[in-house]
Structure 1
Amino acid sequence: MNTRIDAWQLHGHSALITGASKGIGYATARELAGLGANLLLVARDEDYLDQVCVELTDDFPGIDVLSFAADVSEAEDRMAVFDWIADLQTPLSLLINNAGGNRPMATLDYQAAEYREIFERNLFSAYEMCRLAHPHLAQHANAAIVNVGSVSGQTHVRTGSPYGMTKAALHQLTRNLAVEWAIDGIRVNAVAPWYIRTQRSEPALADADYLDEVLDHTPLRRIGEPEEVAAAIAFLCLPAASYVTGQILAVDGGFLSYGF
């Protein structure tokens, strides 16, 4: 056995990924599968999720790929996800809280229902998924949670204040759980992406002037790819990262370090 090679693999792990059918979630599923992890994929669109499940099963025949359609911002759906996992009797060792959404506008323009929906989707869902996953993760010798935050949780970007608030709170949840749950053998980290080329970001980036402005504030002078965020998430899941917890890893092309 080569322990150093084993430290960079995820054989024997099962990863629950929310928002798994597109963008960063889908790229993360592919990345973790390539490292040997079995996949438990959750997303709202059942038909699309089924297609993704078939595709990943074909591409990674050595692993198990299972899916469950659910909206994790809904309490009933979250409970259904963990009833499904209990019925599978699958030992859960990795949780990737990726599901989220946004509705950017000026602070004074939000209706209460609109900003509360953003909190439910981005923050409360992850909080409750962590709590529900804890008994499962605590049974594994090398468990990890990775929350998908955002640079908007660390500085002002034009995403609207509720989105930034939810991501800042998600980062702090990451730090709190890392300290609380270290005794249970659960590491908790987050990634904080800047602009990543996904369906959600394409409308904004289609504005050539806005794109130029984004690139002017990004030292690497390009938009990130979902696979680059997935690689950072995968690292935080690996045994090689066994002494890393409570960290917010920016995947931002240098944006947060830019300054004047």
Structure 2
Amino acid sequence: MGSHAEVDSSSTPESRWSLEGTTALVTGGTKGIGHAIVEELARFGAAVHTCSRNEAELNKCMHEWEKKGFRVTGSVCDVTSPSDRQKLITSTVSSLFDGKLNILINNVGTNKIKPTTEYKAEDFSLIMSTNFESAYHLSQLSHPLLKASSAGSIVFISSTCGVVSINVGSIYSATKGAMNQLTKNLACEWAKDNIRTNCVAPSFTTTSLAEPISCSWHVAACVVVFY
């Protein structure tokens, strides 16, 4: 009979898995789910870049991450702005990571909970551009960098409200439903480029944001590490 190697059941994920040598972009990484994802990826050894509209929050986080010894860089970016998105990917991230990106976490999200009849055009524009349009465009812009890495991974932070009816507002739910379908399309379309595409879509989580953030940070990080 062949011998079986013993498995150390006490080993931690950090001792079994490593992201050393990989690069990651996490949008909206200064609070809530995004902040936790940045720390998890950095803890596994990835070089991480994150962005935020709030420069003061970003600087505070950067100081904390520096003290922890994490390899994290940051830049100010409003992901609802096409020009900001273009600059983030084609200038900042491409330059930092030598034209290659292993992991893209589309995390940024916002919401306004109202009855459908009370939504205004500006509400639709804000929620749609923040939650879906930004993720779609950032994925497009990142494609050459993800392909160049030869091992790309996109993770969308979605929500159960994109699958079933939850009382969080019809626009928010629509953006997450669109995100779920985009995940399926890109998973098939970009597989030939060695780019994996996943989304995580749990329900409410306890974070600093008063809305369904869509997943736990540990699940999101594990999608990147293990699939």
When normalised by structure 1's length, the TM-score is 0.77
Residue type of the alignment partner of 1:137: L
RMSD value, Cα: 2.1
1:44 aligns with 2:53: yes
* Gap regions ≥5 residues in structure 2: 1-12
Of 230, 233, 240, the residue aligned with 2:217 is 230
1:110 aligns with 2:97: no
Map 1:1-260 onto structure 2 (within 5 A).
Answer: 8-59=17-68, 61=69, 63-82=70-89, 83-90=91-98, 91-201=100-210, 229-238=216-225, 240-241=226-227
Does the CA contact (< 8 Å) of 1:195 and 1:201 recur in 2?
no
Q: Quickly say closer, same or farther: Cα 1:95–1:179, change in 2 above 3 A.
A: same
**Partners of 2:169 and 2:139 in 1: how far apart?**
26
**Partners of 1:110 and 1:69 in 2: how far apart?**
29
Q: Tell me whether 7-16 or 159-168 shows the greater mean CA deviation.
A: 7-16
Report the alpha carbon displacement of residue 51 of structure 1 after superposing the two structures with TM: 1.1
**How many pairs does the alignment contain?**
213
Does the CA contact (< 8 Å) of 2:24 and 2:47 recur in 1?
yes
Report the alpha carbon displacement of residue 112 of structure 1 after superposing the two structures with TM: 1.2
**Partners of 1:11 and 1:233 in 2: how far apart?**
18
Equivalent position SS for 2:164: coil
Equivalent position SS for 1:193: coil
When normalised by structure 2's length, the TM-score is 0.88
Does the CA contact (< 8 Å) of 1:24 and 1:230 recur in 2?
yes
**Partners of 1:22 and 1:117 in 2: how far apart?**
20
Structure 1 stretches of 4+ with a deviation exceeding 3 A read 4-7
Report the alpha carbon displacement of residue 87 of structure 1 after superposing the two structures with TM: 2.8
**Partners of 2:195 and 2:143 in 1: how far apart?**
8
Q: Quickly say closer, same or farther: Cα 1:103–1:187, change in 2 above 3 A.
A: same
* Residue number in structure 2 paired with 1:256: none
Does the CA contact (< 8 Å) of 2:128 and 2:171 recur in 1?
yes
Residue type of the alignment partner of 2:78: D
